[in-house]
Amino acid sequence: MTGGRVWEDGAFYRSLGGGRFESSPWTAGPWSPKAQHAGPPSALIGRAMERHEARPGMRIARVTLDLPRPVPVGELAVEVTTVRAGARAELLEGRITAEGRTVLLARAWRLVAAPEGTPALTPVPPVPPLPGPQPAQTMEGAYLDGYVSAMEWRFPPAAPGAPEPGFDTPGPGTAWARQRVPLVAGEQDTPLTRALTVADSSWAVGFELDHRAGLVINTDVTLLLHRDPVGEWLCLRSATAAAPGGSGLAQGELHDESGDCGRIAQTLLVTGR
């Protein structure tokens, strides 16, 4: 971290048992040291969904997360239930609560894995390759000593005459990212949790609305994975759509070093402060 204290366990969370977790300062988002970036709690509920009544040969293909209020940097309780159980498809539902209040709601489809003969289709062009190491990224007016610093970010080189890419450069944009710390202390991350940890950052990579002049914030995150990501580095290629009298929509692609693996969608509240 660039300032403040480093949590001794070096992870986003520490398990307290019984579905309860202590949040570390690494979870803090860019707007306040007291409120979490949605990436870590999204991954935390994904972790619980993967473990809930898991069956061989099935995988989570879609997770939708609603964010009714900020997730505090504090103790969290996680629970998951089965809404519909079937031989080939299951619908799961989960929530995270803090001090008795629901701060995150989630639904996920767990599907039987496609057979080996399924065609490998890639409908989007490849992203630029992973760049070499870069200086720590900045974001004007943001709190940097939590999630932003807990992730390593690398932006592809700028085209001739174009501004250097970064969080302060208007999108569309592309960025590679990986976790510097695990999700839960003492555990290995999974492809799903790694994808959920970065998914909420899609809007920031492709941001074209001025969040300094007005209030722009996402109310939800949907991650769709047509295959499980491979490796620790993931790439977001994102853009924003918006219209007067409407709202914003952040749309992203998720890639790994082997290619395209998913999509990300986020609804953006756009209003005055």
Higher pLDDT, 164 or 47: 47
Amino acid at 31: W
With a cut of 60, say whether residue 233 has pLDDT above it: yes
With a cut of 90, say whether residue 57 has pLDDT above it: yes
- Residue 49 backbone phi and psi in degrees, to 5: -65, -40
Q: What is the mean pLDDT of the chain?
A: 93
Q: How confident is the model at residue 210 (pLDDT cuts 50, 70, 90)?
A: confident
Q: Which residue spans within the chain are E strands per DSSP?
A: 13-17, 20-23, 58-66, 75-84, 89-98, 101-112, 151-154, 173-179, 215-218, 220-225, 234-242, 248-256, 259-271
pTM for this entry: 0.94
Once rounded to an integer, what is the mean pLDDT over residues 102-115?
98
Q: Tokens standing for 183?
A: 């999700």
CA–CA distance, 245 with 262 (Å, rounded to integer): 30
CA–CA distance, 154 with 136 (Å, rounded to integer): 9
Going by C-beta distance under 8 Å and a sequence separation of 6 or more, which residues neighbour residue 118? none
Residues in the chain: 273
Q: Pick left, alpha or beta for residue 238 (phi over 0 → left; psi -120 to 50 → alpha; otherwise beta).
A: beta
CA–CA distance, 62 with 28 (Å, rounded to integer): 25
With a cut of 80, say whether residue 113 has pLDDT above it: yes
Q: CA nearest 252: which of 210, 208, 212? A: 208
Q: CA nearest 137: which of 128, 145, 126? A: 145
pLDDT of residue 2: 40
Strand partners, 171: none
CATH architecture of 13-113+138-271: Beta Barrel (2.40)
